[in-house]
């Protein structure tokens, strides 16, 4: 299961479920993110701190808070209409996940990795995504391949007719569809964790002029290899695609105040 953020606050798109257990997990996660249960009269089995954590995480991933921005506990508490205690707990958990940095006598801020660290993150995610593409070429069901093809087609259309924001979301769906098709939940978990840390940089790269068209030529190689069930070709195409993003990240680093 992979839960993908959309541009609308609190809304999530579930790309796929591989079995009933995953369906149950997806519902619980969606309710934890939104704080809203389905109309069955049950209270979501999540704490206030977890809902607060999800909202702050969402705002970091979606670029509301940029790398280096200070996360003031009082301001967050007022904004989220809660006390400082769940804010503090949420920030500690986000720090453990690498999204937030907490410094003595300074407080919490959105993690701002160095240029070298951003490149290292891209190197890690390149290998993880390449492995996911290789597994997807071997393990994907026909339905999963159809989802990948549909996601690719939408990216193709939006590369020339859509906004950068629309393309960014479609691009995430394309990548997440491949993760899901790898049919390896441990791999998806690791990808999701690293991707959250890279999301601000991927967003800026996507908004860079000409990047959408270039990205599509790279996507096409991945999609064609997957459709032909060619593991090595899919793996190499995906690795090359993500490492090109790493090169773009270097060029945009100054704009992100690194």
Query: What are the structure tokens assigned to 111, written together?
Result: 């993690």
The pLDDT, as a whole number, for residue 108 is 94
Dihedral sign from CA coordinates of 48, 200, 194, 241: positive
Cα–Cα distance for residue pair 175/44, rounded to 1 Å: 29
The pLDDT, as a whole number, for residue 254 is 53
CATH number of 3-110: 1.10.10.10
Cα–Cα distance for residue pair 180/177, rounded to 1 Å: 5
Distances in Å between the Cα of 8 and the Cα atoms of 74, 92, 104, 119, 193 are 25, 25, 34, 29, 21
Tell me how many helices (H) and strands (E) the chain has: 10, 5
The full set of domain ranges for the chain reads 3-110, 115-256
The pLDDT, as a whole number, for residue 250 is 64
pTM over the 0.95 mark: no
CATH number of 115-256: 1.20.120.530
The pLDDT, as a whole number, for residue 60 is 86
Of the candidates 171, 160, 233, the residue with the CA atom closest to the CA atom of residue 198: 171
Dihedral (Cα; 206, 211, 212, 213), 10-degree rounding: 180
The pLDDT, as a whole number, for residue 7 is 30
Instruction: Judge whether 151 and 221 are in contact, CB under 8 Å.
Output: no
The 10s digit of each residue's pLDDT in 145-172 is: 999 999 999 999 988 888 888 888 899 9
> In terms of C-beta density within 10 A (0-12 exposed, 13-18 middle, 19 or more buried), how is residue 75 classed?
exposed
The pLDDT, as a whole number, for residue 50 is 84
The pLDDT, as a whole number, for residue 127 is 96
78 Cβ partners below 8 Å, 6+ apart?
none
The pLDDT, as a whole number, for residue 23 is 41
Per-residue pLDDT of the chain (258 residues; tens, 9 = 90+): 333 333 332 223 334 333 333 344 334 334 433 333 333 444 344 678 888 988 998 888 777 898 889 999 999 999 999 999 999 999 999 998 888 999 988 899 998 888 778 888 888 999 999 999 999 999 999 999 999 999 999 999 988 888 888 888 899 999 999 999 999 999 999 999 888 888 777 777 766 666 677 788 899 999 999 999 999 999 999 999 998 876 666 665 555 554
Distances in Å between the Cα of 148 and the Cα atoms of 15, 117, 134, 151, 219 are 10, 30, 14, 5, 11
- The side-by-side arrangement of strands in the sheet containing 107-110 is 70-71, 107-110, 100-103
Distances in Å between the Cα of 252 and the Cα atoms of 72, 197, 198, 207 are 27, 16, 13, 11
> In terms of C-beta density within 10 A (0-12 exposed, 13-18 middle, 19 or more buried), how is residue 37 classed?
middle
């Amino acid at each position: 299961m992979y839960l993908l953020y959309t541009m609308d606050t609190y809304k999530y798109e579930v790309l796929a479920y591989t079995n009933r257990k995953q369906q149950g997990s997806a519902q619980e996660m969606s309710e934890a993110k939104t704080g809203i249960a389905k109309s069955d009269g049950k209270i979501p089995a999540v704490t206030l701190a977890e809902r607060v954590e999800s909202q702050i995480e969402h705002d970091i991933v979606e670029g509301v808070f940029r790398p280096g921005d200070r996360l003031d506990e009082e301001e967050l508490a007022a904004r989220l209409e809660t006390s400082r205690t769940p804010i503090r707990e949420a920030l500690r958990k986000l720090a453990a996940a690498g999204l937030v940095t907490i410094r003595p006598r300074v407080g919490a801020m959105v993690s701002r990795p160095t240029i070298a660290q951003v490149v290292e993150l891209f190197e890690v995610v390149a290998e993880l995504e390449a492995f996911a593409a290789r597994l997807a070429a071997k393990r994907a069901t026909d339905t999963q391949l159809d989802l990948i093809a549909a996601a690719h087609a939408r990216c193709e259309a939006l590369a020339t007719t859509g906004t950068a924001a629309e393309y960014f979301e479609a691009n995430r769906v394309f990548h997440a569809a491949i993760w899901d098709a790898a049919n390896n939940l441990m791999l998806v978990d690791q990808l999701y964790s690293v991707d959250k840390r890279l999301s601000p940089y991927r967003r800026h790269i996507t908004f860079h002029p000409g990047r959408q068209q270039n990205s599509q030529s790279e996507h096409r190689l991945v999609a064609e290899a997957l459709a032909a069930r060619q593991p090595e070709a899919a793996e190499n195409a995906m690795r090359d695609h993500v490492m090109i993003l790493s090169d773009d990240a270097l060029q945009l680093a100054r704009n992100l105040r690194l």
